[in-house]
């Protein structure tokens, strides 16, 4: 088979493909030229430069797989590829060590003022007393997020004789303890850390997680490192804390807007180290992503399972015809369920009632897991890896089927999520042919369109509570686009579901949760699933 490599990749990756296939390396192709020649190829490998548009895909009459040598696939029209039956895959593992080591380098440089001292000597100064540092040994490192990179940082920090504590609501205490890590609640980590490093995805819950309120609860002289995702730190608040000395230093590799704006408040501060998103920028990582993507492309062309595919795996046409309208609904039910859950998920039961029970629903169950895991994991979750990721986190997944209609619906999907603390149930169905609706949340009958931003607020059933929430949102210029209030069969509690037009900042969410009678408030961003 013929493979086109349209962007520069490591020769090791080229060699993997060339061992069994004909490989052409043609880089910097104009779009028109790519469209002209792509029909001759079975596989395409790109990085970020080449744009694989719907026009390119339409011309790719023989294309079976597109491999991205890296993580992000923003330059590939995945929807168009899926519609044409083309597998799209990436290489999420190749840069793990690079990102881990960059975090350690940033932490060490921060502790010993390496960047600032270097600049001083280069400028002709000799200011030994000005750059008095601190040792890592004996210090407490707080890690927010124990994915591959967070865990790698923990292992290396333990080797440096640091005391490692971490927050990750989806990791078991036993698993963390086995690594020598003490698992704690978020604010306990924030309050206890001498060094704080972030390894979280950017979600509605993590956006500006480090803000003026959280910084105020940190130790005086804390040092903060972020080599994960821009937007998880309020950069204005961080800059203010660096100026006062509340935060002794910060090392930042990722930013809310990249390239970093010339007017950024972080520029010019003497106690901050800034790098231009270098987490994956090592020779080894570039080799790693090239080899990984080459292996994935080779497997796809050979008809083997592809564990890094980012789009839908093949499903028999007669099954696809039945389940296709439910994919978005199933995924968003999983997304809603995980936002309701407290603590590590130990079990997920997906029940199918009605005619859906007559077909193979495993792909729909995978869609539920995809929606459930995507908001909480830093790596991309897809239809291929969702089940393995759930298994790796010791989540038991079970399908239950009944051909009997339930709750007056011809077809009903129910997702039950269990943690060691709580159990939550979300149920949904289709109105008409493709209009997905959430119809049940924890026993509360609702009719919710799972789109955009939703604020979920269980509350005591008494007058005035909904009005207080509406007033609070209005005071902060947050528009309510729609509202549902559901009751249970048991009197005393209701649930409000508010569709809002924008994100709700963390300080406002804290105020909402503090409203007398609110039994918890959760914000879900379906647009990010």
* Residues that are catalytic: 229, 258, 277
Burial track 474-494 (b if 16+ CB lie within 10 A, e otherwise): eeeebeeeeebebebeeeebb
Query: What is the rounded CA–CA span in Å between residue 297 and residue 291?
Result: 10
Query: What is the rounded CA–CA span in Å between residue 164 and residue 97?
Result: 19
Burial track 337-347 (b if 16+ CB lie within 10 A, e otherwise): bbbbbeebbee
Token duo for residue 317: 């046409």
Query: What is the rounded CA–CA span in Å between residue 524 and residue 327?
Result: 18
Q: How many CB atoms lie within 10 A of CB 43?
A: 25
Query: What is the rounded CA–CA span in Å between residue 347 and residue 497?
Result: 25
Token duo for residue 408: 């007056």
Q: Is 513 helix (H, G, I), strand (E, B) or coil?
A: helix
CA atoms within 13 A on the CB side of 397: 21
Distance of CA 267 to the CA centre of its chain: 28
CB 374 within 8 A of CB 204: no
Residue 339 Cα distances to 125, 205, 345, angstroms: 53, 9, 11
Query: What is the rounded CA–CA span in Å between residue 515 and residue 359?
Result: 46
Query: What is the rounded CA–CA span in Å between residue 415 and residue 437?
Result: 14
| Sign of the Cα pseudo-torsion (469, 437, 527, 146, in order) | positive
Query: What is the rounded CA–CA span in Å between residue 426 and residue 443?
Result: 8
Nearest to 145 by CA among 68, 227, 78: 227
Token duo for residue 271: 């106690």
Contacts of 345 (CB under 8 A, 6+ apart): 170, 338, 372, 393, 395, 417, 418, 419
Nearest to 453 by CA among 492, 509, 390, 385: 509
Query: What is the rounded CA–CA span in Å between residue 325 and residue 363?
Result: 12
DSSP class of 409: B
Query: What is the rounded CA–CA span in Å between residue 67 and residue 25?
Result: 14
Radius of gyration of the chain (CA): 25
DSSP class of 308: T
DSSP class of 402: E
Token duo for residue 347: 């079990």
Q: ∠ CA 134-135-138 to the nearest 5 degrees? A: 125
């Amino acid at each position: 088979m013929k493979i086109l490599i349209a962007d520069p990749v490591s020769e090791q990756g080229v060699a993997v493909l060339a061992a069994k296939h004909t490989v052409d390396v043609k880089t910097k192709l104009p779009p028109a030229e790519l469209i002209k020649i792509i029909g001759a190829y079975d596989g395409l490998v790109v990085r970020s430069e080449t744009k694989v548009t719907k026009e390119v895909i339409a011309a790719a009459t023989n294309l079976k797989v597109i491999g991205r040598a890296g993580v992000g696939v923003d330059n590939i029209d995945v929807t168009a590829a899926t519609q044409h039956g083309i597998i799209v895959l990436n290489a999420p593992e190749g840069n793990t060590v690079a990102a881990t080591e960059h975090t350690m380098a940033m932490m060490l440089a921060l502790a010993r003022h390496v960047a600032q001292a270097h600049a001083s000597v280069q400028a002709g100064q000799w200011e030994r007393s000005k750059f008095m540092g601190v040792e890592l040994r004996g210090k407490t490192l707080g890690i927010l997020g124990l994915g591959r990179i967070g865990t790698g940082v923990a292992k290396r920090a333990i080797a440096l004789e640091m005391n490692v504590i971490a927050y990750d609501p989806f990791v078991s205490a036993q698993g963390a303890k086995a690594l020598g890590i003490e698992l704690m609640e978020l604010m306990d980590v924030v309050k206890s850390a001498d060094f704080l490093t972030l390894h979280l995805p950017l979600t509605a819950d993590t956006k500006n997680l480090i803000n003026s309120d959280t910084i105020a609860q940190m130790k005086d002289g804390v040092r903060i490192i972020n080599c994960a995702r821009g937007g998880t730190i309020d950069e204005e608040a961080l800059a203010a804390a660096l100026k006062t000395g509340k935060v002794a230093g910060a090392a930042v590799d990722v930013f809310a807007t990249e390239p970093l704006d010339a007017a950024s408040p972080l520029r010019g501060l003497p106690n901050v180290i800034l790098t231009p998103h270098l987490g994956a920028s090592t020779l080894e990582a570039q080799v790693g992503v090239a080899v990984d993507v080459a292996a994935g492309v080779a497997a796809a062309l050979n008809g083997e399972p592809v564990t890094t595919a980012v789009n839908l795996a093949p499903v028999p046409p007669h099954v696809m015809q039945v389940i296709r309208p439910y994919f978005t609904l199933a995924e968003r039910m999983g997304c809603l369920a995980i936002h309701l859950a407290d603590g590590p998920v130990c079990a997920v039961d997906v029940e199918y009632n009605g005619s859906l029970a007559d077909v193979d629903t495993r792909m729909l169950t995978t869609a539920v897991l995809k929606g459930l895991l995507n908001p909480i994991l830093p790596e991309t979750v897809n239809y291929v890896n969702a089940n393995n990721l759930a298994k790796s986190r010791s989540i038991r997944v079970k399908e239950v089927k009944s051909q009997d209609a339930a709750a007056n619906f011809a077809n009903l999907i129910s997702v039950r999520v269990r943690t060691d603390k709580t159990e939550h149930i979300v149920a949904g169905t289709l109105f008409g042919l493709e209009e997905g609706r959430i119809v049940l949340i924890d026993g509360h009958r609702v009719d919710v369109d799972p789109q955009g931003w939703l604020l979920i607020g269980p509350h005591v059933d008494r007058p005035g509570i909904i009005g207080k929430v509406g007033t609070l949102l209005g005071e902060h210029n947050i528009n309510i686009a729609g509202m549902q209030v559901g009751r249970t069969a048991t009197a005393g509690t209701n649930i409000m579901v508010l569709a809002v037009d924008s994100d709700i900042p963390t300080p406002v969410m804290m105020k909402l949760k503090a409203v007398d009678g609110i039994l918890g408030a959760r914000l879900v961003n379906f647009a990010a699933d």
